[in-house]
């Protein structure tokens, strides 16, 4: 089963996809839009990617505040979640995305990506980090369940 990971921003949505076994996440693309509330084309592109990769689940990063509260950005993300569920018919899992953009930028710095080029990749890499966190967590959960059955 393939899963799409999404990093929803004010003008972009980073997209990542899992491998068929649900072990690794790879960045796919960044869907860009001219204004924050212009979501029709963004939703259509995500729907195309769902079909292309035959995704059965979406994991959407939830931008919580550092004190674990939900702010305005998180509220908009939850509204986007509802739109995604209606448009794709797939379940959408919310995943804590705190510091994923920081981690993505740090990884690119360490990889030698020039500062002026990082913006081209940061959202897709952040989506991959969100999805990888979910995959790692669900993989550990499956391992624990398997051990309990033994």
Q: Give the model confidence (pLDDT) of 34-64 as tens digits.
A: 887 789 999 999 999 999 999 999 999 998 8
What is d(CA 33, CA 36) in angstroms, rounded to the nearest whole number?
7
Residue for token pair 């693309």? 29
pTM above 0.75, yes or no: yes
Closest CA to 120 of 110, 105, 130: 105
CATH number of the domain encompassing residue 29: 3.30.420.140
Q: What is the pLDDT of residue 105?
A: 64
Q: What is the pLDDT of residues 56-66, one digit of tens each?
A: 999 999 988 77
Q: What is the pLDDT of residue 134?
A: 95
Radius of gyration of the CA atoms of the chain, in A: 15
Count up the domains in the chain and report the number.
1
Query: What integer is the mean pLDDT of 12-18?
Result: 95
Lowest mean pLDDT among 18-22, 79-83, 103-107: 103-107
Q: Is the pLDDT of residue 118 over 50?
A: yes
Q: Is the pLDDT of residue 68 over 70?
A: yes
Whether 97 and 63 have beta carbons less than 8 Å apart is answered as: yes
pLDDT confidence band for 125 (50 / 70 / 90): confident
Angle at 10 between CA 6 and CA 16, to 5 degrees: 15
* 147 found inside a domain: no
* 150 found inside a domain: no
* 148 found inside a domain: no
pLDDT confidence band for 122 (50 / 70 / 90): confident
* 110 found inside a domain: yes
Closest CA to 127 of 72, 35, 39, 46: 46
Which residues pair with residue 6 across a beta bridge?
15, 60
Query: What range does the domain containing 68 cover?
Result: 2-142
Q: Are strands 2-8 and 55-62 parallel, antiparallel or unpaired?
A: parallel
Mention every residue, 6+ apart, whose C-beta is less than 8 A from residue 125: 14, 27, 104, 107, 108
* 28 found inside a domain: yes
Lowest mean pLDDT among 13-17, 51-55, 84-88, 110-114: 110-114
* 149 found inside a domain: no
């Amino acid at each position: 089963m393939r899963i799409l990971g999404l990093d929803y921003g004010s003008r972009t949505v980073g997209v990542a996809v899992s491998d068929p076994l649900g072990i690794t996440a790879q960045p796919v693309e960044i869907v860009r839009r001219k204004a924050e509330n212009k979501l029709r084309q963004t939703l259509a592109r995500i729907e195309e990617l769902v079909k292309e990769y035959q995704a059965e689940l979406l994991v959407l990063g939830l931008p919580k505040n550092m004190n674990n509260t939900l702010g305005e950005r998180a509220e908009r993300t939850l509204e986007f979640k509802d739109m995604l569920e209606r448009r794709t018919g797939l379940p959408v899992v919310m995943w804590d995305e705190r510091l994923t953009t920081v981690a993505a930028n740090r990884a690119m710095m360490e990889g030698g990506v020039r500062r002026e080029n990082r913006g081209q990749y940061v959202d897709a890499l952040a989506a991959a980090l969100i999805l990888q966190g979910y995959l790692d967590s669900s993989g550990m959960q499956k391992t624990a369940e398997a051990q309990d059955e033994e």
